[in-house]
Amino acid sequence: MSLGDLSMTGIMQKQTCYVKILLGTLFGKDEFESTPLLRKAIIYGYGPFRCWMSIAHWLMWHFDLKKFRPSEVPRVKISLACVFAFIAIGWPLIIYKTGIMGWIKFWLMPWLGYHFWMSTFTMVHHTAPHIPFKYSEEWNAAQAQLNGTVHCDYPKWIEILCHDINVHIPHHISPRIPSYNLRAAHKSLQENWGQYLNEASWNWRLMKTIMTVCHVYDKEQNYVAFDELAPEDSRPITFLKETMPDYA
């Protein structure tokens, strides 16, 4: 998520965060119901593969120069040149030295591991059944930054590895707050605005709710589950409901 994205938390047309599917924005309910291939791809993507959906966001947003400000384009070109240079030189060297299994072990699996980490954190901190996305004419910046994201407590070792990004609400108030000040900033927010904050502890029920309920965005209900809209195509969601633990 970009710094610009952080300042537009919960605004329907502008936040690029991949955690939402919008009725009437990305596609309407009728379109969702009338395009079987797209519907199945979305159900799988936001169902069992949701913890890797940052890959789709990466492909859609990180290679299109039109999505960047003119002042950013030169640096983006350098970044892309480095990426493609590594693909052109690094991949063949890895395969030459270690074979295809070496490429899978030393590049593909770490890459998938990173995207699992990125996707899961983004999903947990920006998705909850009661948190709405709003159109720009209804959007309030202060309300969105305070109430539009989730603070989530994880096991301590995870919080150390992620530099306290789970203390997420101050990060949206001001992305300039350094990681070592996030907890102090959150304590101040609790003291002054605690009634407006969303706070949770990571547990399986939280994950199950996000992955089996928070699917298609709806203005009236906030989210509509896939199995309500397309039960005949929602076997992946049924599978998650039956197999994911449900304890807090």
pLDDT at 25 over 50: no
- Dihedral angle over CA of 235, 213, 125, 33, nearest 10: 70
Instruction: Supply the pTM of this predicted model.
Output: 0.82
pLDDT at 33 over 70: no
pLDDT at 44 over 70: yes
| Residue 248, pLDDT score | 81
Percentage of residues of the chain with pLDDT beyond 90: 65
Please write the tens of the pLDDT for every residue from 147-201: 989 999 999 999 999 999 999 999 899 989 999 999 999 999 999 999 999 999 9
pLDDT at 230 over 80: yes
Please write the tens of the pLDDT for every residue from 90-129: 999 999 999 999 999 999 999 999 999 999 999 999 999 9
Mean pLDDT for the stretch of residues 22-50: 74
Please write the tens of the pLDDT for every residue from 200-222: 999 999 999 999 999 888 888 88
| Residue 179, pLDDT score | 94
| Residue 10, pLDDT score | 55
- 222 DSSP assignment: E
Task: Identify the residue with better confidence: 153 or 42.
Answer: 153
Highest mean pLDDT among 72-76, 123-127, 221-225: 72-76
Q: Lowest-pLDDT range, 17-21, 199-203, 229-233?
A: 17-21
pLDDT at 11 over 80: no
Residue type, 76: V
Contacts of 36-45 with C-beta under 8 Å, sequence gap 24+, read 36/233, 39/230, 39/233, 40/233, 42/226, 43/226, 43/230, 43/233, 43/234, 43/236, 43/237, 44/236
- Dihedral angle over CA of 211, 216, 221, 227, nearest 10: -70
